[in-house]
Structures are given as structure tokens and as C-alpha cells.
Amino acid sequence: MTERLVTGFHPFVIPFVAGMFFVLGYCLYGIIRILVELPRADRQKFLLSLITPKTVWKNIKDIFLNCLIHVKLWKRNKVLGFMHSSIAFGWFMLIVLGHIEVMLFLPERTRFFYYPIFFNFFVAEGENTIQGAVLFFLMDLFLLVILCGITLAVIKRFRSLLFGMRRTTKPSFLDRIGLYALWLIFPLRLLSESFTAHISGGSFLTIPMNWLFRQFLGNDLNFLPTWWAYSIVLSIFLFVLPFTRYMHIPAEMMLIPLRNAGLKIKHPRKGFARVQFYSCPGCGVCIDACPMSVRKENQKDCTVYLNRQLRRNNESRIEEISDKCLMCGKCTTVCQVQVDGPHIRQAQRALRSYSINPHYTQVSVDEHLSKIGKGKVLYFAGCMTHLTPGIKKAVGEVLDRAGVSWTMMDPDGGLCCGRPMLLAGRKEPARAMMRINKEIILASGCDILLLSCPICYRVFKENYNLPGITVMHHSVFFNELIKANLLKVDKDAEMKLAYHDPCELGRGCGIYDQPRELVSAAGTLVEAAQNREASICCGGSLGSLSLSYEKRRDITLNSIKNLKAGNPDAIVTACPLCQTTFKNYSDIPVLDISQVILKENKKG
Amino acid sequence: MKNNILIIGGGIAGMETARQLKQLGLNPIIVEKNFALGGHVSQWNRLFPDMIPAKEVLDPYEDSLEGVEILLGTEIASINRLQKGWSVTLSTGKNYSCKAVVFATGFRLFEAEKKEEYGYGIYDHVITNSDLENWFNTKLDERVPEKPQAVGFIHCVGSRDIKAGNTQCSKVCCITAIKQAIEIKEAFPNAEVYCFYMDLRLFGKKYEDFYIKAQRDYGIHFIRGRVSEVSETIDGRVQVKAEDTLAGKPVKVRLDLLVLMSGIVCNRENEGLAKAMEMPLDEDGFFRSRNNVNAITEADREGIFYAGTCTGPKTVPETIAEARSAALCVYNYVKNNK
């Protein structure tokens, strides 16, 4: 392999070099900015994680699997997975192989970083070597892989339904420029490498192309314009990249280490949150996932649009979108980069200041304690279960029938668990309530804190630190009672029950199986069309601060329709709020899991 | 028959319309899904504000409807437009062609168990306004204790309640609650009676006097504020938590009996019928009148008329007046479309 140009330079590389410097500079600026914006403790935590071997290995693994191979996308949708990984991994391999070529054949040129990209322009193949043949073959192979991906991408742009996406985002002007540049890069690379294939060598793709071109064009000198075009298109893509959704490519590589370091979103625009919204690829899978998207006018309130507005600093829309969200978390579950939309919103809500701030100093811990009896299990019904006395009664009866030593924490009403305040972004009042609750629980002398409301359950699990006390949701506890043979349930196989995963219990706390086991113990479980992680919010969520009841109606009806896919006799849920919400619109009975268990226990 | 007018519903609206149409020389036919006429009024004991027994209102219809074809336990299977008039097929398989159809399909009481926080069907001593009327009639209801010390009424159960899906005011419950509170006080003079209300809408003749009488002569307590929560105490009493918004204080009352004033909501059975006939329903689920000023009894479709609560909550006198107005509209329509 010999060099064709003694200088190792040609002016056509200038656009690419300029673009590359621009992007690298921008990313460096971005990294510094984010590090500066992170709170001190978070920054230390992050930097420490970068020298901890375990997290370093996890970072490398996650970046490889998610950014290059797109494992999550493969699991969800094979065609989309192939499309993305072929472009990302193929491109990555072209760059790596380019570097290998340079290092192997022209080691003195490794410091010219445009060399691996335009290698075929600068070299002439003197003799055929086996290494050269293998490398050229691989280069052509990965170029072919990318071209397949690009073809799919073009088809997807015009027929997204073929790829299982009902709704997708509308790209902005710059997004389009970036998109068209991306489409053009690889066909142009194929063209340019084909033009020079008889000089620099090629393989199964470029050599036949070269032969074809020369039949028509004849003149070797025609290759220069295509190399110019290739460099210019690359340059356009690199220059618009920071202002388009393609920013997600570098941002995700930053997001993964930050997430692995265990950071939490503290401010909706700064630090971790900034990496989150720049990591959004703008694909729009969250539009279909968002429960609000059944209403056309609410389709622009999902996370992909929040991220877009955050990038544009559109304050009024950011606030509107943040307040409206039901905080069901489905967007994060379906998202390939797991942009944490709900927590960004929660941080945004925390920016608002209120003129009235409750303090709860009038609440007496002793007075509450005086009403609590003795028992190993402390049952906290919470506001929502107090408003659904049917559930409260059923839970109590099941506990009695199983011979559990239990007592109620809030027999005459108690303090709120704090979760609604947290969801509204009001951390201080929430913490004040949580402090009092914690004191009551620790003083009660219980072993198990039992909750029948997933909203309470999540906050007790996530935000309270209760040493020596097991926090349990009743669906889990009852399941254990059955397994320990303390509770008998007669299965009524004729009764078809659809189980609704409450957002806070399922996506929020990862409890999917125990309630299903419980339902299956009482009747025949029929799954909803979309279940588990994909379960649709009932619409009653107290996560939303501004969605009116009329608008929630459509969400509820859609969720019921989803649950009725298997023609159940009743809908079973494990959340008093879901039950109340469904009850208003469902034409089949809606029961709490405790009521089903009690019914089937009484028969025996 | 030449001048057939089909009336759907045999409550007071349907009966009054039939009575008037018969006198106007037309041939009304009443189709009633139940096995008796009288509708909701037949379940009631006495009617406000004069406390006349409901029976006195219903009984005269027996004579005045003599000769009118009445089909009990019958529903509408289908209704089709004819060149002139309508062809109605009934669930019994019978078919009638008629000049006009009058909807007097009435309302349904809100299912109080849907407001689970009030504990209807869960606690032992929670009943609805309709249950209480039944108790007045029969004195049989084990939920009503023998000698209650305290009785409470919750107004607006399922009405003016966006969460329950009903934004409309049910109109009659304010005055019904006052009437029933007085009747309870008459039955149990030693009991304390509480009414939890958000507004008192006492628009009708003598209603305000009735309200003043309830406070002054019967000592009934009126507490402005919605009830937040109802629970059951260990001794089986009902504990109500509410906010007294006039005093600005939370209140907690223990009661022996709690009565929920279930509101008037639309009759869901109308949905299918309306869809089949391409007749629009209002957002509240009631039938949509041509307008709500001078054509309340007329539908947008030719030859279709409304009487009574199928277009929205109404009192008994309003329903009767409207039934007469509907009958006159039908008469004029038949006369002009010979």
C-alpha cells in the first residue's frame, strides 16, 4: 500500500475537519458545563464512579450494548433494532477499521485524524495482500450493513406504521437537515470509494461499482467531486448535530455513566437533567405510550416534546407540560435511553414557590400513638383507602381470618404519606409529614408496615428510612400468607379476572408477579392487551396538577378498553385510586385484590 | 289506528301526557318497562312542600287513563321512520305505526355505592333518600335504628360532582332533604338532625319557608361544607368528617343513621335508543331539546317529543306542567300534518 499524495493532504478534507473540530469543541464545552452545574456532592460521586472499576466496566458494557447494539430496541421491535444498530454499530466499525488500516499500512499518518475516514482517497494499492483483502472486505460489508439500515430509515420516515409506530414526532427544520445529511453520507461514501476502487483497492461492493461507473463515465478524474460531496455532507451533519436530535449520540454516552453513578435529578435544566433531555433521540415512542395521547390535543404533552421545549427554553410550555403529566412513568419504560421524564417534571414543579406552606407543627405524635393498638403488623390505610372503606374493611377481615396480629396506624385518620406533595414538587412539606410518620411508625414497635395503597407504598419504600421494619404492599403480604398456608382461597376457575397494574406498584416499584399469583389463586387471570410495564394509567393519578376530569375521562375509558381485551368478568386492581377511577366508567365490576381474596376465602 | 301517539314511559310524565292526549281526541299508547305505572313517584311517600301523599297524585290517573292502551313490562325493540310518522316494534313483537312518539323515559337515581367514601352498601347504617321513602312507606329497613339519637343527611351525592361524571344540579334534593329531615324529626323528636350541604337551592314556591321552618320549628342543623369522609366506629355508628366552611372549622359527628341524597342522573338506557334514532344526547346524558327556552318538549327530529325528566332534573309539578305542554305540542303537530 503506498500513498498517492506525498503531502497526505487534499483541500476536500477541510469541511470535514472543521465540522469535527466544531463537534468535539462543543461536546467538551458541554461536558464542562454539566460538571459545573452538578451539585458538589453529585460531582464528587460521579468522578469517583469513573475510577471505580465496577462502574467503569458497567459503563463500557452499557455504552456498547445500548449506544451501539441497541439491545433494548431489539427486544421491543426487531426491525427498528436492526435499523438502529446497523447504522450505529456499522458506522462505529467503519471508523475502527479505518484506524486499523491506517495503523497497519501507514503508521506515520495516524496523527492525521481525517486519514481513517478518507483512507481510500489517499492510497494506491501496490500489491494484493491478504490483510488488505480482509480489511477491504470488512469495510464493504459494514458499509452494506449501514446502507441497509439507511434504506429502512428512509422507508420508516414515510411509512412509520410498517415499523409499528402509530405516531412519531415531526422533525424540526434543523432535524431535517441533519436527517437528510445522514441519509446521504453513506451512499456518497459508497460512490466515492467506488470511484477510486481501481486505484486504492476495494471489495465485493466497491469493485463491481467501479467497473460499472467506468463503463459509463470513463474518466478517472470524475472521482474528485464525489469525495468533496462526501466531506461536505459529513461536515453539514457535524455542524448541525448539536442543534438537532442527533445530539443524543454524544449525550447518551454521558448519560449512562451519570446514571450508573447513581445521580438523581435535582434541577430541571441543569446537570443531570440537561444530559437527560439532550439524550432524547426524539423518536416519539413515548407519544404512543403516553396515556394522554388518546386525546389529540394532549399528544404534544409527552416527554419527547418536553425535551424539545427544554432544549429551546420555552418556559411557558415547559411549565404546562410539567404540570399536566400523570407521572405514570410509561414513557421512561418504553424509552430506549430511559429519559426520566417524570423526575424532570417533578424537579420543574419544585421551582414554583407557594405563598402558603403547611408546617404540621400542631400534629401530636403522642396523640396518634395513643390510638394505635399493639400488633406485629401496622396497617396504614392512608387517605385513599379511607375514601374506599370497602377495601379498608376487606383488608382488615383478611388479616383477621389469617390470624395476623395487626393494628391500624390511622384508625381515626392520619397524616398523609407525603407522596402527593412530592409529586407536586413540594419537598419541604412532604418531608415534614414524613418525619412525623416515621416517628409514629418507629415508636409503634411493629415489624411490618402494611399498605393497601401503592402511592403510599412507594413513598414508604423509596423515601422513608425505616430500619428493622419491612414495608409491604397488601398484594405481596396476602400472597405470602397464602404461601405460608395461613390464608385459604378457593379458586373459582370460572371467574375471569383482568389485573390492572397500578403505575406506582408496577412501573414504580416493580411488583408485577405477586398480585398476579394472588389473582390466579382466586380466579382465572386474563391479561390486558397492554400489561405489566406497558399497563395504561387509569387516568385518576394524582400526579397531574392540571388535567381536568373531563379530559381524564377519555384516558380512563381507553384504559378500561385495554383491560377488557380478554373479556373478563371483573377488573381487579391493587390501588384504591385506580379502583375509584375505573368504577365511574366501567360496566363490569371493579374490585380491589383484597376484596377478591376475601370473597373466595369466605366461600371455603 | 289513525291517531296513534306512542308514549315511552309510564311515570307521571307519561301518564299526564296520555291523559291530556286522550282528552284532545288522540289515541295515546303507553309503553312501560316495569309491571306497574307510576315510576319514581310511586316509590315516594309524601311530596314537598305541602306534604301531600304521593298516592293522591297518582290515584286519579287510574280513572282518567281508562280506555288508554297500556303495555306493561314492555320495551321498545326498534323505531323506524315512515313517510308520515313512525313505526315502532315492541319487545313483545307487536308493531304500531304512530303519528308521533313522546319520550317520557325519566331519570335514574345516582347509584350511591359509586361514592364509596360515603360507605353505602359497606356500613350498616347508611341509606339513600329513596330507601328512606321506602321506610316511610313500609317502616321496614333494618338499617334504620329503632331510636336514633342523631341522623345526618348528605346533599348532592353524585350531582354537581365532576368526579362522579355528573355536573348538573339535581334540583330536587335540597328540598327533599329538608322534607325528609322534618319527617325524621317528626318520627324521632329526640334525635339531632344534621344536613351537610354545599349550597341550598330553594327556588320554588314555599321552599324557603320550608327551610326556615326546618331550622326554627324543628331545630335541624344545617352545616355548609362537603363531607370528606365517612367511617364506622367500633360500636357500629357512622362517623362523618366534614368542614364547616361558615365557621371555618373541621367537624366530626357521630350518627346512628346517614341518609345520602342521591341525585337525578340521566337514564343510561336512553343511550342505545338515542343512537338508533340518531337523536343527540346532551353532555350530561339527557336528551337534547330543540332549544331550552321555548322548545324543551321538542326534539330535533320531526314527530318526536319529550316530557318530563328525560331532558333534565325536574320537580313533580314541573314534570306535570311539561307533560301537558308536550301533549299540546303533539296535538298541534298532528293537526298540522294531516
Residue A257 included in any domain: no
- Quote the cell numbers at residue A2: 503506498
Q: Does residue B101 sit in the same domain as residue B115?
A: no
Cell of A57: 466496566
Q: Does the CA dihedral B139-B140-B146-B150 come out positive or negative?
A: negative
**DSSP codes, A93-145:** HHHHHHHHHHHHH-GGGTT-TTTTTSHHHHEE--S--HHHHHHHHHHHHHHHH
Place of cell 383478611: A398
Q: How many domains does chain B have?
A: 2
A583 touches chain B (CB under 8 A): yes
A434 Cα to chain B: minimum distance (Å) = 22
3-class state of residue B144 by DSSP? coil
**Same-domain check for residues B140 and B179:** yes
Separation in Å, CA A170 to CA A157, A180, B93: 10, 14, 57
Are A449 and A505 found together in one domain? no
Other CB atoms within 10 A of residue A575 CB: 32
For B106, residues 6+ apart whose C-beta sits below 8 A from its C-beta are B9, B11, B13, B39, B40, B267, B308, B309, B310
Please report whether residue A425 resides in a domain: yes
Regarding whether A527 and A461 lie in a shared domain, the answer is no
Q: d(Cα B11, Cα B106) in Å, to the nearest integer?
A: 7
| Rounded Cα gap, residues B290 and B280, in angstroms | 10
Contact state of B164 with A386 under an 8 Å Cβ cutoff: no
Q: Is residue A419 part of a domain?
A: yes
* Ranges of residues in chain A whose predicted pLDDT is under 70: 217-219, 603-604
Per-position DSSP letters for A430-467, written without gaps between them: HHHHHHHHHHHHHHHT-SEEEES-HHHHHHHHHT---T
Residues of B in contact with A584 (CB under 8 A): 114, 163-165
**Nearest residue to A434 via CA among A455, A465, A478, A404:** A465
A409 shares its domain with A531:
no
Are A261 and A212 in contact, with CB atoms under 8 Å apart? no
- Interface contact B241-A584, CB threshold 8 A: no
Residue A25 contacts B, CB cutoff 8 Å: no
Find the helix or strand (DSSP H, E) in which B98 lies: strand B95-98
The reply to whether residue B116 touches residue A584, judged by beta carbons under 8 angstroms, is no
Cross-chain residue pair B116–A585, CB shorter than 8 Å: no
- CATH code for position B129: 3.50.50.60
Distance, in Å, from the CA atom of A241 to the CA atom of A506, rounded to the nearest integer, reads 37
CA dist A511 and A454 (Å) reads 10
- Same domain (yes/no): B56, B174: no
Whether residues A427 and A536 share a domain: the answer is no
Do B101 and B9 lie in one domain? The reply is: yes
Tell me how far apart the alpha carbons of residues A529 and A565 are, in angstroms, rounded to a whole number: 6
Q: Is-contact A286 A302, C-beta < 8 A?
A: yes
Residue labelled with grid coordinates 450494548: A65
Is A389 within 8 Å of B122 when comparing Cβ atoms?
yes
* Spatial separation of the C-alpha atoms in residues B155 and B173, rounded to whole Å: 7
Residues of B in contact with A414 (CB under 8 A): none
A213 and A313 belong to one structural domain = no
| Cell 338508533 found at | B276
Asked if B260 and B142 sit in the same domain, the reply is yes
Task: Supply the range of the domain harboring residue A458.
Answer: 358-480
Same domain assignment for residues B164 and B248:
yes
Distance CA A161, CA A30 (A): 36
User: Cβ of B122 and A390 within 8 Å?
Assistant: yes
Clarify whether residues B78 and B179 are in a common domain. no
In a domain, A255, yes or no: no
Q: Which residue in A has a C-alpha nearest to residue B167's C-alpha?
A: A550
Kindly determine whether residue A583 and residue B114, on different chains, have CB atoms separated by under 8 Å: yes
Mind spelling out the 3-state secondary structure of A155-181? HHHHCHHHHCCCCCCCCCHHHHHHHHH
> Which structural domain range is residue B103 located in?
4-107+266-336
Exposure of A238 in the CB half-sphere (CA atoms within 13 A): 20
Which run of H or E residues covers position B129? helix B129-138
**A480 closest CA partner among A520, A446, A449, A514:** A514
Is B281 found in the same domain as B250? Answer: no
Do B126 and B255 lie in one domain? The reply is yes
Interface contact A413, partner B, CB < 8 A: yes
Omega of the bond prior to A208 within 30 degrees of 0, cis? no
Tell me if B116 and A390 make a contact (CB, 8 A cut-off): yes
Task: Find out whether A398 and A594 touch, Cβ atoms under 8 Å.
Answer: yes
Residue where one domain finishes, among candidates B219, B242, B264: B264
DSSP bridge partners of B98: B86
Closest residue of B to A385, CA-based? Answer: B117
Inter-chain residue contact B116 with A580, CB threshold 8 Å:
yes
- Same domain for A49 and A137, yes or no, is yes
Asked if A389 has any chain B CB less than 8 Å from its own CB, the reply is yes
Domain shared by B133 and B280, yes or no: no
Which value does ipTM take for this structure? 0.85
Q: What does the pLDDT read at residue A603?
A: 67
Q: What is the pLDDT of residue A3?
A: 83
Please enumerate residues of B whose Cβ is less than 8 A from a Cβ of A. 114, 116-117, 119, 122-123, 162-165, 229-232, 241
Q: Does residue B1 surpass a pLDDT of 60? A: no
Residues B119-165: tens digit of each pLDDT: 999 999 999 999 999 999 999 999 999 999 999 999 999 999 988 88
Of A352-356, B199-203, B263-267, which gets the smallest average pLDDT?
A: A352-356
Rounded Cα–Cα distance for residues B118 and B154 (Å): 9
Amino acid at residue number A125: E
Instruction: Give A583's contacts in chain B (Cβ within 8 Å).
Output: 114, 116
pLDDT of residue A80: 87
Under 8 Å between Cβ of A457 and A504? yes
Q: Of B264, B288, B307, which marks where a domain is finished?
A: B264
Q: Do B117 and A389 touch (CB under 8 A)?
A: yes
The C-alpha of A43 sits at a distance from chain B's nearest C-alpha, in angstroms, of 46
Shortest distance between the Cα of A554 and any Cα of chain B, in A, equals 12
Predicted local confidence at residue A604, as pLDDT: 58
Say whether pLDDT at B210 is over 60. Answer: yes
Instruction: Report chain B's mean pLDDT, rounded to a whole number.
Output: 93
Chain centre to alpha carbon of residue B6: 22
Q: Is A79 in the same domain as A207? A: yes
Distance of CA A80 to the CA centre of its chain: 16
A50 and A156 co-located in one domain: yes
CB contact under 8 Å between A386 and B116, yes or no, is: no
CA distance B201 to B49: 14
Residues B305 and B204 in one domain: no
Min distance B117 CA to chain A CA atoms (Å): 4
Task: Mark whether A321 and A216 lie in a shared domain.
Answer: no
Give the model's pLDDT for residue A112. Answer: 84
Q: Which three cell numbers stand for residue A489?
A: 382461597
Question: Is residue A474 domain-shared with residue A490, that is, in the same domain?
Answer: no
Pair (A431, A530) in one structural domain: no
Q: Based on the fold, state whether residues B234 and B325 are members of the same structural domain.
A: no
State how beta strands B69-71 and B52-53 pair.
Answer: unpaired
3-state percent breakdown (helix, strand, coil) of chain B, nearest 5: 30, 30, 40
Residue A336: per-residue pLDDT: 87
The shortest CB-CB distance from A387 to any of B117, B165, B232 is to B117
Size of interface A-B (CB pairs under 8 A): 35
Residues 6+ positions from A397 with CB-CB distance below 8 Å: A598
B165/A386 Cβ within 8 A: no
Minimum Cα–Cα distance from B117: chain A residue: A387
Rounded Cα–Cα distance for residues B180 and B193 (Å): 10
Same domain, yes or no, for A460 and A502?
no
Whether A417 is covered by a domain: the verdict is: yes
Say how many domains are in chain A: 4
Q: State whether B116 and A549 contact (CB < 8 Å).
A: no
- CA distance to partner chain B, nearest, from residue A390 (Å): 6
Say which CATH number the domain at A590 has. Answer: 3.40.50.1860
Q: B170: which DSSP letter?
A: -
Determine, for residues A584 and B164 on separate chains, whether the beta-carbon distance falls below 8 Å.
yes
β-pairing, B192-197 vs B221-224, is: parallel
